[in-house]
Structure formats: C-alpha cells, structure tokens
C-alpha cells in the first residue's frame, strides 16, 4: 500500500487542482477556501486510515482516543472506512456522535457540580439541540456543505490512490 508519506504528498499536490475545481463550481472565494481546507484536513487527519495506527490517527495527538473505538471496530481498508460512499459519511456521523457524547457528559457534570443535581435526559437533549442550532446558524448551510464536500474529496483521493496501487501491484504480479 502507498505509505502515509505518499498519501500526504498526493493530498498536498491535489490542493491546487481542488482550488481550481471548487472555484469553477462555486465562483465563491470563501466557499472554495473552505473546500480546500477541508480537503487538506480530510487527507491528513480525517481520512480512511483512521481505521489503523496511521499518521492520520497519530496526528490527533492526545485527542486520538476519540478514534480508538473506530479503529477497533472497523477493519482496515473495509468499505466502512475506505468506501467512497460510506467512508466519509460514517466518519462524520461517528465524530459528531462522539462530540455530542462528550458535550452531554460535560453538561451533565457541570449540572451535577454547579447545581448539585443530575440533569434529566430531556434537559441534556435540549442542551445538545441548542448547541446544534447554534453551530448551524453560526456556520451556515453552504459552509457545512463545502466542508463535507472537502472531507469527502480528501478521503476519495486516498481511496483512489489505494485502489490504483493495488491494481498496479496485481499487474506486476502477472508479468
Ligand atoms: Zn488507506
């Protein structure tokens, strides 16, 4: 398989063409910049190889515990991490879920220590949807779409490179 370093290099090389493509499609500098930034993030830190002990995984530093269950649960190079359709989708939902859990735990602990009483399930869900609304109105739908598109594209480049390398290896085996 291509090494982490090769994947990084291809991600970096893809940024200029990605910028051109995003600009052609959106004609908006801010949206294009977001797509490029998300492609970079998707390639370096939010990519398919979070399913194994990889550069992407170790780049999360002390926060890499977030991805530990993901790493254990999904087999390396399975369709749930490397698939063009499911890879990014699963990661976005997984990451949002983990962040939600951490926030809810924070709200719970805060209520416990500040008010001396544990909050109910409804209160916690209300806190979470308030946070969600806040993020959505602060970031905007267009920007969120640009980020998801960039994350998907960054991961897609990774998967395509993996697939190309496999094909090249098989061809070499034939000869
Ligand atoms: Zn991979």
Per-residue pLDDT at 75:
94
Gap from CA of 54 to ligand 1 centroid (Å): 9
118 pLDDT higher than 80: no
> 164 is in which domain, residue-wise?
4-174
Instruction: Give the integer Cα–Cα distance in Å for 38 and 32.
Output: 10
Lowest pLDDT segment from 29-43, 64-78, 108-122: 108-122
Q: What is the pTM of this model?
A: 0.87
Gap from CA of 91 to ligand 1 centroid (Å): 14
Per-residue pLDDT at 30:
94
Question: Measured on CA atoms in the order 65, 158, 11, 21, is the torsion positive or negative?
Answer: negative
Gap from CA of 42 to ligand 1 centroid (Å): 12
- The tally of domains found in the chain comes to 1
Gap from CA of 41 to ligand 1 centroid (Å): 15
Per-residue pLDDT at 141:
87
Residue of 109, 63, 89, 102 whose CA lies nearest to 151: 89
Gap from CA of 59 to ligand 1 centroid (Å): 15
161 pLDDT higher than 80: yes
9 pLDDT higher than 80: yes
């Amino acid at each position: 398989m291509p090494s982490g370093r090769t994947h990084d290099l291809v991600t970096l090389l893809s940024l200029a063409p990605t910028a051109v493509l995003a600009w052609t499609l959106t004609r908006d500098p801010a949206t294009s910049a977001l797509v490029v930034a998300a492609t970079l993030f998707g390639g370096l830190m939010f990519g398919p190889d979070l399913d194994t002990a990889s550069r992407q995984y170790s780049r999360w530093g002390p926060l890499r515990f977030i991805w530990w269950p993901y790493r254990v649960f999904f087999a390396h190079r399975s369709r749930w991490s490397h698939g063009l359709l499911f890879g990014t989708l699963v990661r976005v939902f997984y990451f949002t879920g983990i962040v939600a859990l951490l926030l809810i735990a924070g709200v719970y602990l805060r209520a416990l220590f500040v008010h001396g009483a544990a909050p109910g399930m409804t209160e916690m869900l209300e806190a979470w949807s308030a946070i969600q609304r806040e993020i959505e109105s602060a970031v905007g739908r267009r920007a969120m779409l640009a980020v998801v598109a960039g994350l998907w594209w960054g991961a897609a480049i990774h998967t395509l490179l993996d697939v190309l390398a496999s094909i090249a290896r098989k061809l070499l085996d034939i000869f």
